[in-house]
Amino acid sequence: MTEGFAYTPNEMELEKASNGYLMSLIAVMAGMPLPIINLMATLFFYLGNRKSTWFVRWHCTQMLLSQLTVLIVNSIGFSWTLSVLWGSSILSNNYIAYMITIVLFNLAEFVVTIALAVKTRNGEHVRLWLWGALTDRICKQRTTEQHYFALPENHQ
């Protein structure tokens, strides 16, 4: 979902926001099969940019929320795999089906993240369904930032 942002971000902001998505991609590749690593990497990037501009923070937050969602399903899969390996659970159809489902979710998230990185770098403000709305609630414009940006007349 592409919509305009409250102000037009400059080149540096576009690059930083895009890097946030790229960072999570690299972390996903490095972190497998430990799902916590990609979340940690995204969290560190988010904390590193928490004093950045609203646009950068907004996209870092959106990335962090989508990573959190994947972390939850991946963590369940990870602990389930451990219990199968340690013998407290059996290798069942439910387990295999769950693993296929989380692989599909991870693949979808991977593709969407690449698309977000490219689109953001090209200056598009893409709001993900659900995660975009959640980000809007969490990531507000700081009062100290307001005098820097001229808001459009119709923006509430």
Binding residues for another protein, rule: CB under 8 A, are: 69, 73, 84-88, 91-94, 96-98, 100-101, 104-105, 129-130, 133-134, 137
Least distance to another protein from the beta carbon of 78, Å? 15
Residue 21 Cβ, how far from another protein at the closest point, in Å?
Answer: 20
By beta-carbon proximity to another protein, the closer residue of 45 and 131 is: 131
Rank residues 80 and 149 by Cβ distance to another protein and give the closer one: 80
- Residue 58's Cβ-side half-sphere holds a number of Cα atoms within 13 Å equal to 23
Question: CB-wise, 137 or 147, nearer to another protein?
Answer: 137
d(CA 78, CA 26): 20
Q: CB 153 → another protein: shortest distance, Å?
A: 26
Cβ atoms 7, 149 nearer than 8 A: yes
Q: Scanning the structure block, which residue is given the tokens 């930032």?
A: 145
Angular region, 130: left φ>0, alpha ψ -120 to 50, beta rest = left
